[in-house]
Amino acid sequence: MTYSKHILIVLLGIFFTGVTHAQYDYEASEKHPFGLPNPEAPEQIKDFEPLIGTCNCSSTTRKQDGSWNAPEDMTWTWKYILNGTAVQDETLKSDGAHSGSIRQFIKDSSRWYVHWYASKTPSTTFPVWEGNKKDGKIVLYREQKAPNGTEGFFRLSFYDIDKTGYKWIGEWVDKTESVVYPTWKIDCKKRMDISHIEGKWKIENKDSYEVWEKKSENSYTGYGYKLKDGKEIISEHLSITINSDSILYTATVLNQNDQKPIEFTLNPAINDAYSFENLNHDFPKKIIYKIENKNTISIRVLGDNGKGFGYKLLKID
């Protein structure tokens, strides 16, 4: 084989390897278990970004007599698919029933198309909803007549969307949307995926440590300590609690504040980090955890005017 042919083969190998990797850059992975939005996709691919992940939800439907059934627990999981150019979601109810959708934004028609399917009602054709995001809501429509034959739509709306969860409602509406009859309501709270915080961490360049343990689906406990003469000297007790309407970070620092716990509430408007805030506290007012990777967490402790300090936690166990 000539030298030039060898170089050509090497270059082609590098090219096709790069293409192969690029085809999967935004798929679900260990680092990004729910995938990523593809920057080459229409910008509307981020409409569902706050929903990505898994939520614990409560679902209730309307009975024939107009009253409502008792709420039913379910999970609702969202992820990016097709290398970050579409969104897929799946629900799982407590009775074992599955349903899901594939959501694609078609640029030429400037709207979302949602194809729905379910384990209890398999079909050769999927119902399709169409719609857009407007004024903070995602609203989708499908033509459907009322039982009395009146023309209208079945309208699906996502609203009250933030980092902690969202609400969903299914309603029949007439063509003018002046007549509205809700038939299905779902209230979802985001599972706070901080499982990567579990374990033993060392503050970079210091003999100070932080240890976290998952106690239940909705709570984590931790503590900070320093090493002195080979012994652990605990400096603070920590916890994270996921409630129905908020996520709390509680710190009890020994020899401070009469050893009373101080609560900080997660700010749902911050999407790239966990910002726990208590603006009424003197210092700190914010404790911000940013997951850099599975072995590194950056922390900022801030007071007035964003002044404070930062450090890195490095995983050691």
Question: Which CATH number fits the domain that encloses residue 248?
Answer: 2.40.128
**What per-residue confidence (pLDDT) applies to 16?**
43
> Do residues 184 and 254 share a domain?
no
**What per-residue confidence (pLDDT) applies to 244?**
67
User: Last residue of a domain, which of 190, 212, 235?
Assistant: 190
How far is it, in rounded angstroms, from Cα 255 to Cα 183? 55
| Residue 200, phi then psi, degrees to nearest 5 | -110, 130
**What per-residue confidence (pLDDT) applies to 243?**
79
pTM score of the predicted model: 0.68
> Do residues 239 and 112 share a domain?
no
Within-domain flag for 11: no
Within-domain flag for 276: yes
Within-domain flag for 137: yes
What range does the domain containing 101 cover?
27-190
Counted domains in the chain: 2
pLDDT per residue as tens, the chain (317 positions): 554 454 444 444 544 444 444 678 999 987 788 999 999 999 999 999 999 999 989 999 999 999 999 999 999 999 999 999 999 999 999 888 899 999 999 999 999 999 999 998 888 899 999 999 999 999 999 999 999 999 999 999 999 998 788 999 999 999 999 999 999 999 998 876 778 899 999 999 999 999 999 998 789 999 999 999 989 999 999 999 987 678 899 999 998 888 899 999 998 778 788 999 999 999 999 999 999 988 999 999 999 999 999 999 999 98
How far is it, in rounded angstroms, from Cα 254 to Cα 256? 5
> Do residues 232 and 296 share a domain?
yes
How far is it, in rounded angstroms, from Cα 266 to Cα 274? 7
Within-domain flag for 52: yes
> Do residues 290 and 217 share a domain?
yes
> Do residues 170 and 219 share a domain?
no
**What per-residue confidence (pLDDT) applies to 37?**
95
Within-domain flag for 20: no
> Do residues 40 and 156 share a domain?
yes
Within-domain flag for 22: no
- What are the beta bridge partners of residue 189? 56, 165
> Do residues 54 and 139 share a domain?
yes
In angstroms, how far is the first alpha carbon of the chain from the final one? 51
Within-domain flag for 18: no
